[in-house]
C-alpha cells in the first residue's frame, strides 16, 4: 500500500470534479486512491482510472491501489459480498486492493446514507461480518481486507474470530489526534494503520482546522522551509502510518507528495508530541441529533481512545 493515498470525500459529490482530481493525482504520481460506497465517488474514480489507462498514464489498473469500504447499512453477513460486487461494478474493476468495514456501526439494511436515525443502529455481528469479509478475500474480489474507525476494543472482537486478520485500520490521525494507544496496539498485532483527515479534515463542523492552524506546526514549517500540510504528512510518514489525504487542487496534490526527501528534527518531533489533542469525528456524528438509540449502547460504538 503506497505511503500516501488520495482521499475522495467531497460533499456534495460532483462526478467531474472527482474524476479530474483522480486523473490529476495519477498524473503527478499518486498510485493509491481511497473511496467508499458511502462517498458516491466509486464511479468517477473508476472512470478516471480507465481514462488514465487509455491515456497511457499507467499501463493498467493493476498499478493503482484502490480501497473501498462497506457502509453500516451493509454490515450484515449476507449483504457483504453483494455490496462489494456493487462497489466493483461502480469501480469497473475485477477486484479492490483493500476492502474495509467503514465503521464498527451496524445500521438497518438499506442504501448507504448519511446521517442516520439513532433507532436504525443495530448490534454489530463482528463474527458474521468478518466471515463474509474473509470470503471476499478468498474469492479474490478483495486482495486484502481490513477495518476503519475501529478502536482497540473492536479489533479484539475481530481478532478473536479471524482466520485472516485485518491488514489495515484506517482512522482519524494527525499531529492533533495522534492515536498513541491504538498505534501501539496495531503494531503488536501486525495491523497497518492508515490516517484519514491527515490535514485536520474539511472543517465540516465549522470549528476551523486544528492542524492547518496549529502554531507549533507553523513554526516547524517555517524553520524547515515546508508547508504545514507537508510537516503533518511527514510526521505521519515517520510514524510508519499511511496518509489518505484529500486535495482536488493540482498544486496541493503535488505538494502533498513532496515529503520523502527530507526529515523532521528530533526537536520538531518533541514539539509535535506535546501538541494538545483534539478529535474531530465521533461515532455519534453519523446520526441525526434527535431520536434515541433503542437497540445499541452508544458506548459500544465509541471510537475515542487516549
Give the active site residue among 39, 95, 237, 248. 39
Q: Candidates 7-15, 82-90, 105-113, 183-191 — which segment interacts with ligand NAP by CB under 6 A? A: 7-15
9 binds ligand NAP (CB under 6 A): yes
Q: How far apart are CA 16 and CA 115, in angstroms?
A: 24
201: left (phi over 0), alpha (psi -120 to 50) or beta: left
CB of 296 to ligand NAP, least distance (A): 18
Known binding-site residue numbers for substrate: 102
The nearest distance, CB 212 to ligand NAP, in angstroms, is 6
Q: Is 244 within 8 Å of 30 (Cβ atoms)?
A: no
Smaller CB separation from ligand NAP, 137 or 197? 197
Using CB under 6 A as the binding rule, whether residue 97 contacts ligand NAP is answered as: no
How many angstroms separate the CA atoms of 225 and 161, rounded? Answer: 48
Contact 194, 239 (CB under 8 A): no
Residue 198 interacts with ligand NAP (CB under 6 A)?
yes
Contacting range for ligand NAP; rule: CB under 6 A; set: 114-122, 194-202, 282-290, 295-303 = 194-202
- Cα-only R_g, the chain: 19
Does 201 bind ligand NAP (CB under 6 A)? Our answer is yes
Q: How far apart are the first and last CA of the chain?
A: 27
What are the start-end ranges of the H helices in 144-265?
A: 152-159, 180-189, 215-224, 228-238, 250-255
Stretch that binds ligand NAP, among 44-52, 71-79, 185-193, 249-257 (CB under 6 A): 249-257
Nearer to ligand NAP, 24 or 60 (CB): 24
DSSP of 288-302: -SSS--SSS-GGGT-
Please report, as ranges, the residues that interact with ligand NAP according to CB under 6 A: 7-9, 34, 102, 148-149, 170, 196-202, 212, 227, 229, 244-249, 252, 255-256
Catalytic residue set: 39
Amino acid at each position: 500500500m503506497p505511503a500516501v493515498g488520495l482521499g475522495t470525500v467531497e460533499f456534495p459529490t460532483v462526478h467531474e470534479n472527482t474524476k479530474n482530481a483522480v486523473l490529476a493525482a495519477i498524473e503527478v504520481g499518486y498510485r493509491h486512491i481511497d473511496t467508499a460506497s458511502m462517498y458516491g465517488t466509486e464511479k468517477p474514480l473508476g472512470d478516471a482510472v480507465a481514462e488514465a489507462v487509455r491515456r497511457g498514464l499507467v499501463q493498467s489498473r493493476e498499478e493503482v491501489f484502490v480501497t473501498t469500504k462497506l457502509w453500516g447499512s451493509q454490515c450484515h453477513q449476507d449483504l457483504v459480498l453483494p455490496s462489494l460486487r456493487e462497489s466493483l461494478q461502480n469501480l469497473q474493476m475485477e477486484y479492490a486492493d483493500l476492502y474495509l468495514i467503514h465503521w464498527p456501526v451496524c445500521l438497518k439494511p438499506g442504501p448507504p446514507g448519511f446521517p442516520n436515525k439513532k433507532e436504525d443502529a443495530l448490534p454489530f455481528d463482528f463474527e458474521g461480518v468478518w466471515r463474509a469479509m474473509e470470503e471476499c478475500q478468498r474469492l479474490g474480489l478483495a486482495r486484502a481486507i481490513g477495518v476503519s474507525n475501529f478502536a482497540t476494543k473492536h479489533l479484539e472482537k475481530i481478532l478473536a474470530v479471524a482466520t485472516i486478520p485485518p491488514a489495515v485500520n484506517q482512522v482519524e490521525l494527525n499531529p492533533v489526534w495522534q492515536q498513541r494507544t491504538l498505534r501501539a496496539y496495531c503494531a503488536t498485532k501486525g495491523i497497518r494503520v492508515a490516517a484519514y483527515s491527515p490535514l485536520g479534515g474539511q472543517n465540516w463542523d465549522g470549528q476551523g482546522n486544528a492542524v492547518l492552524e496549529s502554531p507549533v506546526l507553523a513554526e516547524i514549517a517555517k524553520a524547515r522551509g515546508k508547508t504545514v500540510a507537508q510537516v503533518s504528512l511527514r510526521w505521519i510518514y515517520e510514524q510508519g502510518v499511511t496518509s489518505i489525504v484529500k486535495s482536488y487542487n493540482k498544486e496541493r496534490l503535488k505538494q502533498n507528495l513532496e515529503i520523502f526527501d527530507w526529515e523532521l528534527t528530533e526537536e520538531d518531533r518533541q514539539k509535535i508530541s506535546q501538541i494538545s489533542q483534539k478529535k474531530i469525528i465521533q461515532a455519534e456524528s453519523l446520526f441525526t441529533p434527535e431520536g434515541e438509540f433503542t437497540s445499541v449502547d452508544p458506548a459500544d460504538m465509541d471510537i475515542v481512545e487516549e
